[in-house]
Amino acid sequence: MTVAVFLHAALPGLLSCAPRTSLTRTHRAPFGPRCCMLPSPPSPSPPSPPSPLTRPSPPSPPSTLAAKDAVKEDGADGQDRTFSDGWSGAGRFADEDALPLSFWLLGPNPRRAVLPTLAIWGLLAPTTNLWGSGSFLLSLFSEFARERRLDTFYPVSSRPLYPYSGGYLDYEAGGYKRYLDETRRFEFRYPARYVQDTTVYLRNADAAYKRRMMDPTLAATPSARPLRQSTGPEVAFGPPGETGAENLSVVIGSLQPGFTLRGTLGPPAQAAERLLQATIAKPGVREPSLLGASERLSARSGTPLYQFEYRVDYPGLEQEPTYTVCVVGASSDTLFTFASRVPTAAWRLHADELREAALSFVLL
């Protein structure tokens, strides 16, 4: 009883001294004076000595992965656009944009792609005469090109803006190419609209092969091969796809020692008449008439040449007259005959062209 009364009387004091949080704890603090004790303040720790001064380390450079990270920006339309690094279009095109065709074809720097291409084509085009570029450049200096025999490769003309004189590509408008035979020692220029007769070329090549087979020593010294009697043209040209009515040819034959044009045949007009009567005329079938004759010297060798024009009528045939420009020359007991024959219609259109071709024939 006494203990109970004592506990009952001491309970309010104990409750007033106990902290409020202790009632909520799982384990209550034991009764007694400890519940009223205040915690002692923590003892201050001694201050740590100051650390020595150290230089701040420089910021490390961004890694490769960080450099390739994408950067997001707001576009004009309010949408986010991502720009990735590490490619040729970095900073110019967003990942969401479609690349233009020029970028696919020329790359990020069109000038580096275009300028070398133009330089290459600037060299290749004239070399291959692409779109007439070679003929155009050589025709700007036609005399120089002919002196250097560059017209052996491409047609050359003295007309302005050739081969575009008519506003379009046309090699036939006054252009000429050169034929050079260094073995037989002659050359001439022929109209660019002509092509070489492959039949004559193959026949002569076959005959030359047979001669080399009969005498193999001629293969090593072609200039020393014996002259043959004329059996056909040495070379021939004409318009492609034609029947041969219009043609240009050179015939070579051997002569007796001591032959000269003026000493053997006489003056140009007399020599032309003798040749026409001996080789062309056939009464009732072919009747030649001389139109003009003259004498000139080869520009390179000074060899005398006779040039004349004549017309041939065919009274017994239903055939229009033909016109021929002929050049005859003799060198080293060899007779050279250049002849360009055309029908009347072609003569009316190309007479000056054929005369210029005949004037270009020379012996070297």
CA dist., res. 17 & res. 11, Å (int): 10
Is 309 inside any structural domain?
A: yes
| 3-class DSSP assignment, residue 335 | strand
Is 1 inside any structural domain?
A: no
Q: What is the structure's pLDDT at 174? A: 87
Say if residue 309's pLDDT is above 60: yes
CA dist., res. 96 & res. 76, Å (int): 14
Handedness of CA 112, 118, 122, 128 (dihedral sign): positive
pLDDT digits (tens, 9 = 90+) for 210-261: 777 766 555 445 444 444 455 689 999 999 988 888 999 999 999 888 888 9
Span 200-206, average pLDDT: 85
CA dist., res. 95 & res. 173, Å (int): 57
Is 338 inside any structural domain?
A: yes
Is 162 inside any structural domain?
A: no
- Which region among 50-54, 155-159, 240-244 has the lowest average model confidence (pLDDT)? 50-54
**Residue 256 bridge partners (DSSP):** none
Say if residue 65's pLDDT is above 90: no
Amino acid, single-letter form, for residue 321: P
Is 116 inside any structural domain?
A: no
Is 157 inside any structural domain?
A: no
pLDDT digits (tens, 9 = 90+) for 110-135: 776 677 777 777 777 888 888 888 99
CA dist., res. 327 & res. 196, Å (int): 19
Say if residue 4's pLDDT is above 70: no
The domain that holds 278 is classified in CATH as 3.40.1000.10
Q: What is the structure's pLDDT at 252? A: 94
Q: Which domain holds residue 200?
A: 171-363
| CA 61 to the chain's CA centroid | 50
Is 88 inside any structural domain?
A: no
Reported pTM = 0.66
CA dist., res. 240 & res. 196, Å (int): 9
What residues contact 289, with CB distance under 8 A and at least 6 apart?
310, 311, 312, 313
- Which region among 2-16, 65-79, 260-274, 296-310 has the lowest average model confidence (pLDDT)? 2-16
What is the average pLDDT value for the chain, to the nearest integer? 78
| 3-class DSSP assignment, residue 183 | coil
Amino acid, single-letter form, for residue 110: P
- Establish how many alpha carbons lie within 13 A of residue 256's alpha carbon, considering only the half-sphere containing its beta carbon: 4
Q: What is the structure's pLDDT at 79? A: 65
Say if residue 196's pLDDT is above 70: yes
SS3 readout for 21-65: HHHHCCCCCCCCHHHHCCCCCCCCCCCCCCCCCCCCCCCCCCCHH
Q: What is the structure's pLDDT at 22? A: 40
Is 73 inside any structural domain?
A: no
pLDDT digits (tens, 9 = 90+) for 326-340: 999 999 889 999 999
Q: What is the structure's pLDDT at 130? A: 86
CA dist., res. 247 & res. 171, Å (int): 18
Say if residue 282's pLDDT is above 50: yes
E runs forming strands in 59-175: 71-74, 80-83
Handedness of CA 145, 148, 150, 155 (dihedral sign): positive
Q: What is the CA radius of gyration of the chain?
A: 53
Please give the share of the chain, as a percent, with pLDDT higher than 70. 72
- Which of 17-26, 42-51, 120-129, 334-343 has the highest mean predicted lDDT (pLDDT)? 334-343
Burial category of 212 from C-beta neighbours within 10 Å (exposed 0-12, middle 13-18, buried 19 and up): middle
**What is the number of domains present in the chain?**
1
